[in-house]
Amino acid sequence: MLHYDGEIQIAKLHVGSYPNEIYLVADPATREAWVIDAGYEPERVAAAAAGLNVKGILITHGHYDHHEHLDELRRLLGVPAGIGEGDEAMLFVAPDFLIHDGDEFPFGPHVLRAIHTPGHTPGSTCFLVGKHLFTGDTLFPGGPGNTKTPTGDFPTIIRSIRERLFTLPSDTRVYPGHGADTTIGAEAPYLDEWIARGW
């Protein structure tokens, strides 16, 4: 079942016991697609991608729950995989390419654009197509991702959200790496509260 069906199509798969979200982002006409993240249940993800011309796998960041089964999914789909520069060493297997800020990943007439948003990890990357933003663990409903980890930095994630994400249109839909969707407009008014709360 599609999570969004319009100018693009988005399938959202809840995988693992936590759970994580894996997204399939496709052009309805050409059936070209990208997979975003590869944490768990690679056979299920590959089955969901049947009939799509998957061009590759984009990993939002280096925490294992977003790429633990990358090698198996990459093999099942027969496609390359990339991760943001800065998180390469966190993968269990070598990536096929590194993702840099501003890199573009076309599918049909559409383009997923990489937005480097460090803070949760040094190489955390969001992906934007039109008014659809895939944020990994950078932005959730109610605040930023966890920075109480060896890879985390609270001032940096706040700066990433303020300068890279909250400059997007308010009706931009946010698809995080865990849980429910939100919008930029729903979250932006609370930035000062998040800063005061800290992490």
* pLDDT for residue 183 is more than 80: yes
Domain count, the chain: 1
Q: How crowded is the C-beta side of 3, counted as CA atoms within 13 Å?
A: 18
- Residue 137 pLDDT: 97
Supply the pTM of this predicted model. Answer: 0.97
Tokens of residue 128, six digits = 């934007």
Q: What's the first-to-final CA gap in the chain, in angstroms?
A: 36
**Distance (Å, whole) CA 27 – CA 16:** 26
* pLDDT value at residue 128: 98
Whole-angstrom distance, CA of residue 47 vs CA of residue 44: 5
Confidence check: pLDDT of 1 > 80: no
Structural domain contains residue 199 = no
Residue 198: inside a domain = no
Residue showing tokens 């890879």: 151
- Nearest-angstrom CA–CA distance, 131 and 17: 29
**Burial classification of residue 199, based on how many CB atoms lie within 10 Å of its CB (0-12 exposed, 13-18 middle, 19 or more buried):** middle
pLDDT digits 0-9 by tens, 117-137: 999 999 999 999 999 999 999
In a domain, 38, yes or no: yes
Q: What is the mean pLDDT of the chain?
A: 96
Q: Is residue 93 part of a domain?
A: yes
The enclosing domain of 128 has a CATH number of 3.60.15.10
Tell me how far apart the alpha carbons of residues 3 and 133 are, in angstroms, rounded to a whole number.
Answer: 14
State pLDDT tens for residues 11-58. 999 999 888 999 999 999 999 999 999 999 999 999 999 999 999 999
Q: How do residues 79-122 score in pLDDT, each as one tens digit?
A: 999 999 999 999 999 999 999 999 999 999 999 999 999 999 99
What is the domain extent for residue 39?
4-193
Confirm whether 68 is domain-assigned: yes
Residue 13 lies in a domain: yes
Looking at residue 114, what is its pLDDT?
A: 98
pLDDT at 185 > cutoff 70: yes
Angstrom distance (rounded) from CA 82 to CA 94: 9
The answer to whether the CB of 106 falls within 8 A of the CB of 43 is: no
CA dihedral 191, 121, 115, 167 (to 10 degrees): 10
- Scanning the chain, the segments in alpha helix (DSSP H) are 42-48, 70-77, 154-160, 184-187, 191-197
Q: For position 17, what pLDDT does the model report?
A: 85
Note whether residue 161 is domain-resident: yes
Q: Is the pLDDT of residue 199 over 70?
A: no
In a domain, 121, yes or no: yes
Collapsing DSSP states into helix, strand and coil, what is residue 44?
Answer: helix
